[in-house]
Amino acid sequence: MTTAITTIIDMTGQRVLVTGAASGIGAATVELLLASGAEVVSLDRSELPSTLAGRVAVHVICDLTDVTAIDAAVASIDGEFDALCNIAGVPGTAPPATVIAVNVLALRHLTESIADRIRDGGSIVNVASIAGAGWPMTLAESHRLLATASFDDGRAWAEDQPMDGARAYNFSKEAVLVWSMSNALRWWDRGVRVNCVSPGPVETPILQDFRDSMGADRIQAGIDLVGGAGQPDGIAPAIVFLASRMAPWVNGTNIVADGGLLGVSMSQLPA
């Protein structure tokens, strides 16, 4: 299923930092932000595609597995932001500790490094996943990770956990949801909101990685149930809505963008 990128959200004069901007959902979000009039600062381990290169204000190359690189990237970017969109992530085909480092610890470290530069009334949007829907059952485990004092401490914790790639990915998204909800009031005195968007299977360059790490049959069953994989430009509007100033009282919540997959699956009676 495809959608056309259009916008009714006016973000003229607003400045947004987007991670994972070079492909997939990140690139589609940058495209929609630009169409909305926003100034975009992008961050990725890769260069931007030709369709976006030269259209963003600044593009920063950054390896989110390296806390020193994150700090250098933050230091290289001047000024304030109206929103931060944490979209970068890696699938379960990466080593488990790397999955947790990028998907959780880098997100936490970058956000905490940038938060004081987010203008009053601004927004933080984290991309989680329907793979994190089991967070209530693993809440204590998420809190153990999130209680680590630093990126390096968190990575050391992750390296001690007996997780395979699929579990590490699911857990990383559970932890993103927990971190986002538990920090919803952290910057609320300035009106800065923290929310999530949770996609289902999306046609991006890493969809095959999800097939490889989670099982091709399982991923295909979900895709077949809703009539096809999602498209990046079908996820981007939810992210841009939360990043904009149109949702000033939406805080600490999660928008599921999966064509109905999670709702249908969770509402069935046990066999």
Q: Report pLDDT digits (tens) over 182-221.
A: 999 999 999 999 999 999 999 998 999 899 999 999 999 9
What is the distance between the alpha carbons of residues 201 and 220, in angstroms, rounded to a whole number?
A: 9
pLDDT of residue 6: 57
Q: Which residues are part of the catalytic machinery?
A: 169
Averaged pLDDT score across all residues of the chain = 95
What is the distance between the alpha carbons of residues 41 and 58, in angstroms, rounded to a whole number?
A: 5
What's the structural domain count of the chain?
Answer: 1
Per-residue pLDDT band at 1 (split at 50, 70, 90): very low
Q: Does residue 9 fall inside a structural domain?
A: no
Residue 171 vs residues 68, 161, 232: alpha-carbon distances, Å: 24, 11, 23
pLDDT of residue 2: 46
Q: Does residue 1 fall inside a structural domain?
A: no
Q: Does residue 154 fall inside a structural domain?
A: yes
Q: Does residue 10 fall inside a structural domain?
A: no
Q: Is the pLDDT of residue 91 over 90?
A: yes
- Alpha carbon of residue 117 to chain centroid: 19
Q: Does residue 3 fall inside a structural domain?
A: no
Q: Does residue 271 fall inside a structural domain?
A: no
Q: Does residue 24 fall inside a structural domain?
A: yes
Backbone CA torsion sign across 102, 103, 109, 110: positive
Q: Is the pLDDT of residue 51 over 70?
A: yes
Range(s) of the domain holding residue 95: 15-263
CATH of residue 247: 3.40.50.720
Strands 118-127 and 193-199: parallel
36 forms beta bridges with: none
Using a cut of 0.85, tell me whether the model's pTM lies above it. yes
